A and B are shown apart, each in its own frame.
Chain A
Amino acid sequence: MDPLLSGGIGLSEILIVLLKVVVAFAGLMVGVMAMVWFERKLVADMQNRIGPNRAGPFGILQTLADGIKLFFKEDLQPERSDPFVFKLAPYLALVPAFLVFTVIPIAGNFSDGQDGVVTLFGHETLMQVADPQMGILFVLAMSSVAVYGVMLAGWSSGSKYPLLGSVRASAQMVSYEAALGLSVATVLLFAGTLSTNGIVASQAGWRWNIWMTLLVPFVVFVIAATAELNRPPFDLVEAEQELVGGFHTEYSSIRFALFFLAEFMNTVTMSAVIVTLFLGGPSGPIPSGAPGWVQDFLLPLIYFFAKLLVFLFVFVWFRATLPRFRYDQLMDLGWKFLIPLALGWFLILTAIKVARDQGWNPVVAGAVAALAVVVGGLLLRSSIRAAEDKDFDAVDPADLDGAGA
């Protein structure tokens, strides 16, 4: 809960809220521009090319130039499209992308049991736009709303390729959301709160969830997040070779720009969510003798952005390195591997935590739970085998129309 908004809300509180919102908005826009440039430049380096180098120093204004160009392009509405839904879809993609970032803590001192409260213009507040109690649920809710943007864009275009792309996208995003949610549940087990500020505070003093949860939920989350973002190697949604441009094939001009913006903004915010959940957000070693602004703002911001940059780099690295999955491989990985793994890991950690609380032997409890999970895994394996052995598409020749004619 943000102490700023817990009491009465007067003019000064509203002004601080507006300041935060505008700074977050501007920061996100600049961040997205930088991310597009970073991705193009880095992929170019990895492919032994130069990349954008004309607009501004090192081509850093390339995204801005592209954006301005898109403003001057003709905005077309295909004749077969559904007019209202076609116009609504870009908004449904962009607005959730903005909103996810509101719950990300980007600074504040979390060392020595402090809860990250800073003083801004004489008011106590948190260095995040909002801190609702259900913080992390809000992230999941917004990523669910983003599915509607993609789905409706493809459905309303009245064209073949966007429809195929959007149906693929929604099935993919929905499948990996289950794995995403299950690995978040493991983090919540350790944090004991849904508030993002509380999750970061629970990781203070190097108790980062990445090793507290023994790495597996982190790996599941990163893979599921990559799929959720429709980024390579899970970019079947816009597989150029088969679907032209995927769900936004029929979009042009500024509407296309909004989809593009949403896509990169989601990459940035999802990296920030990973940092918040698993790497302790802005927390890190803070010398106690330092002045207040260094403790509250400078060092946490540096830690947060350093961690963020690691994941942005990793996402670009994935793109430059890994070939695209086939659709059945994608679905098998999500449903038959990541979801059972995340579920099993959650149960093992729950057993260990409860055993510690109850004074049972945690090793025995963990071993029993692990045994149960292994049995479950073997059952899963035999189920997959059973499905492979059945021939569901077999047709009785007598049923064939005109057989033997």
Chain B
Amino acid sequence: MKYVDEYRSPESIGRLLALIGRRSRNPVRLMEFCGGHTHAIFRFGLRQLLPPTVSLLAGPGCPVCVTSQPDLDRAIALSRVRGITLTTFGDMLRVPGSTGTLQEARAEGADVRVVYSTLDALSIARDNADREIVFLAVGFETTAPSVAAAVLTAEDEGLKNFSILSLHKLTPPAMRAILDAGEVALSGILGPGHVTTIVGSDAWDFLSREYGMPCAVAGFEPLDILMGVYALVDGIESGSSEVVNAYRRNVRREGNLQARQAIDRVFCVRATEWRGLGTLPASGLFLRDAFCGFDAASRFPVRVEPAEEPKGCLCGDVLRGRAQPPDCPLFGRTCSPQHPIGPCMVSGEGACAAHIRYREG
């Protein structure tokens, strides 16, 4: 596959690892913000291969993991409403809410359907005029544009049976929260390559300006990730705290303007609750009033009991980088991929799931 295989060449990886080994003198701790990076790092065994001076820490960039318990419960409650078809990305299906998972709701008769794209959800809405199609909109800035596009298309076509439950969140506030909390000593941040494709590398300038924190925006192939690591190590060793774009083939300074405009047109920004990080100001996307006809939360109000995090679950700490998955008392014992207690174990990119699935042999 073009633009994939070249970035997985064992020979190039070997050479880059050697370069990192030679450049890295002082121990550094880098946070890979994005769950996709955590997943790829584990899948390719990169942690094992990096020199001992470089340690990597998973951050809160897993949109499934940071969905709050009440929000998850709301989604599950919606799926149980008669006449509603809940469409969702596969990632959300097995996350445990207070009363079960979407998968369990489906087994009990709820109409829950996995889709790959909002385009598919729109098709389902067109083909099932007698049902209300609700799309569970989870994701960061990479996904929000596609949901905005779906809402605009629905409006254009006069689709009356399509709505979204918007649980979208923005990445920079989460980064600020981690740094402001000062709970973890970080040397640098591996920036989310695909979020940045949308928001633009300029969006991370604040890390350098306000926190003196180096950031390298990296793609997700092994070569991309290691290029990002090298850029961080190199920067740290030279005392620089610049934002480096190590994913130039897809990331520009201004990002994707059409996508950003679509988000702006359809969504407004308000405070929202993040699992593990609490309520962060200006961190969530909500539909603007003009699009209230597509807002599932107001069209189908459901009662949700106040929820508590499961006892002993350290997902919050893991998301903040305060704890590693093995530190959680439930890890690998009561909480496993077969019986997940917290979202970090269920989500494909959750740190706990990655730790267990890809553990070293």
B partners with A: no
Interface on A for B, CB 8 Å cutoff?
none
**B residues adjacent to A (C-beta < 8 A):** none
